[in-house]
Amino acid sequence: MDVWSLSKQGDHPEDAAQDGNRFLAANGYMGLRGVPEEAGADRFPAVTLAGVYDRFQDRWREPVNAPNGLFVQFFLDGLPLSLGKAEPLMHSAQLHYQNGVYHRRTEFDAVLIESERFASLAQCHLLADRYQMTFRRDGELTLYTGISTEIWDINGPHLFDFRHEQGEALLTEAVTGEKHITVAVAQAVRPDFEAQEAFETTAAGSFRVLRRAVRKGETLTVALFAAVYTSLDHPAPGEQAARLCLRMKELGFAACLAAHEDAWADVWRRSLVELTGDEEAARALHASQYHLNSIAPRHSDAMSIPARGLSGQTYKGAIFWDSEIFFFPMFAYTQPEIARVLLKYRIDTLPGARQKAASYGYRGAFYAWESQEGGQEGCTDFNVVDVFTHRPVRTYFRDKQIHISGDIAYALRSYYEITGDRSLLEEGGAKVILECARFYISRASARLDGDTVDLNDVIGPDEYHERVANSAFTNAMALHCLKSALMLRELFADRPEWFARLLKDLNYEQDWALIPPLIARIRRPRLRDGVIEQFDGYFELEDCSLDDVRARLRDPREYWGGDHGVAGPTQIIKQADVIALLALFPGDFTDREVADNWQYYEPRTEHGSSLSACMYALTACRIGKTDEAWELFLRTANIDVSGSSKQWAGEIYIGGTHPAANGGAWMIAALGFAGLRIRDGRPELHPSLPRQISRLRFPIVWRGERLTVEVTREGGRFLRG
């Protein structure tokens, strides 16, 4: 098995959506879906742009897909030789995880097509493709290369007022409908042959047409260089795009590829987990790390990663809690500058979080559940469609998932604990923690007839049970946030004037006095035989099996949660909830407590989210369930290899890549199998290797020092350098 690539044989149009995800080439600025160069909208091609959003009419806001600057299609004697228009003798696609290069090989009676393309990690605005044709008979070639405007949108269209320029560089510009953002794509080509050149502009795009006679046995190659800019990047995006692709044309494909490969080599040097003992697992882990590394916003100083990465417009391109809980750990330990960028996004969107809190009548910072630019809430009131009535179903994700603010505070504190760098807290992170704590102060409800304080009407990670009271996970996150606020004074004891000024600027004196009593009074969960009750009244719900609930489904696409979902009246949950709490706060629970809760909740968990399995795997490692941890690891790490993930929530398409599972795979390997933990301000190893693994080796950065973690059957150790 090649542990560094994913391959597929045959042309299967029915798999186009999934294959576009699995073979994605991305560089943080944009994602180029893994479809053939000639693909029309029916094969879901897309160049998805990070951080560029648009809303068409009353549909959901979502990321903008740019025109495709790597479009290639050709004819021999007037006959189209492309997938979907001619039957191939053979077709294969391959994605190399080591360098992010997508290879395509297609054989027809008359020609063999081979290409390799990439989204440059060295130059984030660049896409490049080397396209080669070997002819098996004489004929007249008509080759179209250009910028396709046949854009696949879920809730579009999003681009209007197309304008084309033709010359040495093709240029296509359009503007978004909502905010009138200019999107510019330029393309230049470098053929290794002479041909007659012409230009065509159609409703499908702008094209350069090359015509010439070809001979049997002749091989022709054309290199394509496409550049993408928007008016968010530069006031003259078209000029910038044209200038870049012409410069890259002069440089040549080989030089562009070499720079791209050097950039990937550096990423792998800093983050690669070497897993020895099982080739399938090694490939799955490479795939997970590739997909997460490829969408890291290295081009920005304040940007986060959408829940479906850059694989398309699913989940509205929004930033969820996935960013802080699932993406953040790998970057914090391997590339802390990227972890900083993710958190800087939250610092910069604090005004949006304050505005959201105020809109509900609360103070402080209530972060968007589905955050778009500026922290704007992308989550709607109706996120699911009933499969029977086809009517939208009211959901409460945006209103009640208040743990999001605590999740962000958790990551900010973790960043300091891992890196030892408090500058991010000084540059706004401390303010975020204080404002999140203020939100929980404002949101809490005191009991007039008792000593406890409740967080009522919330949703925890288990979204099948809405509007519950005292979610154990939510209350723990709120409690941690409040304690982190108090920790700030101790952390900045050497700068008392600065901290006092911060509290004064926030008018925080009254809130500061309320934190200690709230910490003391916030409701702790009920225990039964060592099991933490997920929320008030959970133990009184119907205790049945997953099979019982599945048997009640009348349509496989039914949504299980909400008022009428089959799971709502039962103890069956969507994903790790209490178990996520145990995984995130390992020092707060004994091994016996972890074991009791794992045994109780795992059989009652559907794992209906890609976020679930890694949390169960982390806790399974701790209690010696290495066989179970191994199976959960494979499920997590293989998710974008197999393409077998959940595709629908009701009638809503939720397909795409799974960055949270990608990050979860690293977490299982590093924090679970290797047992990397922080205790008393120092990293420790508590290995729990499954029998399938003989060695794990991976780099980390601990408070500025580069270390290598090595774990074998004999134990674990830190190596310097």
Which residue numbers are catalytic? 463
Q: How far apart are CA 325 and CA 396, in angstroms?
A: 21
Q: How far apart are CA 551 and CA 545, in angstroms?
A: 10
CA angle 537, 542, 546 (to 5 degrees): 120
* 3-state SS, residue 5: strand
Q: How far apart are CA 509 and CA 521, in angstroms?
A: 20
Structure tokens at 242: 């044209």
Query: H or E stretch including 182?
Result: strand 182-191
Q: How far apart are CA 349 and CA 346, in angstroms?
A: 5
Structure tokens at 674: 């290797």
Task: Report the side by side order of strands in the sheet with 705-712.
Answer: 274-276, 695-702, 705-712, 715-720
Q: How far apart are CA 175 and CA 296, in angstroms?
A: 26
Structure tokens at 368: 């968007």
Structure tokens at 645: 């993930």
Q: How far apart are CA 713 and CA 693, in angstroms?
A: 9
Q: How far apart are CA 358 and CA 372, in angstroms?
A: 18
Q: How many CA atoms lie within 13 A of 342 on its CB side?
A: 32
- Return the number of other C-beta atoms located less than 10 Å from residue 511's C-beta: 20
Beta strands in 81-125 (DSSP E): 90-96, 101-107, 111-119
* 3-state SS, residue 282: helix
Structure tokens at 320: 């969820």
* 3-state SS, residue 317: helix
Distances (CA, A) of 12 to 8, 31, 70, 117, 328: 10, 22, 21, 21, 36
Query: CB-based contacts of 212: which residues, under 8 Å, 6+ apart?
Result: 140, 141, 193, 194, 195, 196
Q: What are phi and psi of 357, to 5 degrees?
A: -55, -45
